């Protein structure tokens, strides 16, 4: 094949698999009667993953509609390496790779409950010097032709680039993770489950002070000395400030900022058509920015080291379990079922099991599923 560059240096390397005793585990891997096994698993209380061995499309077509709550997966890169038993990723043309992936993702959409979520981690590839743009090509296919709704494009910053011998381009250190849903409203999302705990306000000399030092004293002075506010605007602003401090003391918000006409740099567009805050500032002379009392939500750039730089006894290309944490906590209900149709060594399933969730893993390679079993058993 003609792939003269690879994009990630620490990208999947499914090598050097220790084989000791793996055959003993093989009985727990299902290679036929997928539907019956799935239904039995659904009705069982175990959270040990169900492992299905075979081609993802063939297996998925055997499973019922709308039975899965959450999917997270990382398909093979296009043209990067041959996994055991071939599988997807070895197509000569990237368009065929995208077509094959989209057949699988159509099955995922059928199986996903209406309120479910699909998280896709996809790497890119260089071909004849050009970065192909595989991740976004797949997104466009899914959004344009399968009616998926893309809610987030997360940048996974791997923090450490690996070996890179190229002399005419930058090193690559990120991958994409996309969050798709089936319906615009009513999909399961527990934002509180992923908020970082807010730093606490405290009482200093009898007055409430936020974790970032807001006590209202400076705002009060600015209002009183303002030449941009009328007297009645000053009165309104001072009493609104008092209310805000009282709300902070009562624990209804963790922190706030006050934007006062002529004082602070506004954090909105000046165009009133675009910004209600610009209107508020013109009409009232001030507005507040309130911090959520339960803490802030994560942003869409995640700094997470790849698994091979974390202590694992063997490296099999997996994404790290940390990568599954936010998706699982935010978008999988506590009694939900997780699916990874390219489960490899089972990282998604391990993360699910940690959270007490049921999960199903599919892989064309029996050996990787045996490793998944071994990892789950060692939990």
Residues found near ligand SAM in the complex (CB under 6 A): 12, 55-56, 74-76, 83-84, 87-88, 316-319, 342, 344-345, 347, 362-365, 368
Minimum CB–partner distance for residue 314 and ligand SAM (Å): 11
Q: From the CB of 54, what's the least distance to ligand SAM, in Å? A: 7
Give Dmax (Cα) for the chain.
Answer: 83
Closest CB 319 distance from ligand SAM, rounded Å: 5
Which residue, 87 or 295, has its beta carbon nearer to ligand SAM?
87
Question: CA 98 to CA 103: how far, in whole Å?
Answer: 9
Q: What share of the chain is helix, strand, coil (3-state, %, to 5)?
A: 35, 20, 45
Query: Between residues 105 and 286, which has the closer beta carbon with respect to ligand SAM?
Result: 105
Q: Locate 152 and state its tokens.
A: 């987030």
Q: How far is the CB of 219 from ligand SAM (least distance, A)?
A: 50
Is the CB of 84 or the CB of 249 nearer to ligand SAM?
84
Q: Which of 271, 276, 296 is nearest to 288 (CA)?
A: 276
Distance CA 300, CA 272 (A): 28
Q: Which is nearer to ligand SAM, 12 or 285 (CB)?
A: 12
CA distance 199 to 179: 29
Torsion of CA 61, 63, 64, 70, to 10 degrees: -100
Cβ 183 to ligand SAM shortest distance, Å: 27
The C-alpha atoms of residue 178 and residue 154 are separated, in whole angstroms, by: 6
Residue 305's region, left for phi above 0, alpha for psi from -120 to 50, else beta, is beta
Q: Which is nearer to ligand SAM, 82 or 224 (CB)?
A: 82
Q: Which of 287, 295, 297 is nearest to 255 (CA)?
A: 295
Q: How far is the CB of 106 from ligand SAM (least distance, A)?
A: 14
Neighbours of 217 (CB within 10 A): 10
Q: Which is nearer to ligand SAM, 118 or 286 (CB)?
A: 118
Please tell me the distance from the alpha carbon of residue 142 to that of residue 152, in angstroms, as a whole number.
14
> Minimum distance between the CB of residue 229 and ligand SAM, rounded to whole angstroms?
57
Phi-psi region of 322 (alpha: psi -120 to 50; beta: other; left: phi over 0): alpha
Which of 103/266 has CB closer to ligand SAM? Answer: 103
- What residues contact 294, with CB distance under 8 A and at least 6 apart? 192, 195, 198
Residue nearest to ligand SAM (CB): 87
Least Å distance, CB 334 to ligand SAM, is 23
When the beta carbons of 121 and 263 are compared against ligand SAM, the nearer one is 121
């Amino acid at each position: 094949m003609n792939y003269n560059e690879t994009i990630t240096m620490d990208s999947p390397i499914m090598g050097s698999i220790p084989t000791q005793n793996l055959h003993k585990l093989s009985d727990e891997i299902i290679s036929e009667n997928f539907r019956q096994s799935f239904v039995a698993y659904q009705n069982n209380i175990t959270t040990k993953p169900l492992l299905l061995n075979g081609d993802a499309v063939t297996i998925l077509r055997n499973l019922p509609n709308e039975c899965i709550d959450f999917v997270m997966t990382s398909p093979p890169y296009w043209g990067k390496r041959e996994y055991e038993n071939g599988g997807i990723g070895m197509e000569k043309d990237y368009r065929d790779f995208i077509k094959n992936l989209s057949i699988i993702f159509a099955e995922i959409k059928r199986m996903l409950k209406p309120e479910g979520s699909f998280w896709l981690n996809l790497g890119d590839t260089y071909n004849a010097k050009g970065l192909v743009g595989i991740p976004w090509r797949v997104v466009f296919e899914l959004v344009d032709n399968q009616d998926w709704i893309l809610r987030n494009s997360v940048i996974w910053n791997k923090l450490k680039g690996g070996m890179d011998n190229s002399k005419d381009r930058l090193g690559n250190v990120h991958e994409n993770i996309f969050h798709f849903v089936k319906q615009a409203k009513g999909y399961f999302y527990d934002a509180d489950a992923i908020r970082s705990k807010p730093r606490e306000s405290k009482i200093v000399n009898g007055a409430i002070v936020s974790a970032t030092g807001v006590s209202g004293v400076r705002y009060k002075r600015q209002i009183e000395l303002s030449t941009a506010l009328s007297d009645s605007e000053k009165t309104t602003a001072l009493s609104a400030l008092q209310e805000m401090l009282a709300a902070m003391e009562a624990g209804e918000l963790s922190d706030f900022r006050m934007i006062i006409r002529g004082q602070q740099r506004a954090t909105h567009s000046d165009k009133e058509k675009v910004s209600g805050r610009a209107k508020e500032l013109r009409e009232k002379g001030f507005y507040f920015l309130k911090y959520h009392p339960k803490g802030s939500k994560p942003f869409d750039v995640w700094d997470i080291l790849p698994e091979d730089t974390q202590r694992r006894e063997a490296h099999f290309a997996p994404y790290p379990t940390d990568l599954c944490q936010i998706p699982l906590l935010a978008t999988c209900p506590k009694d939900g079922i997780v699916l990874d149709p390219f489960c490899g060594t089972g990282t998604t399933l391990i993360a699910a099991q940690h959270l007490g969730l049921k999960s199903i893993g599919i892989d064309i390679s029996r050996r990787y599923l045996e490793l998944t079993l071994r990892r789950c058993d060692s939990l």
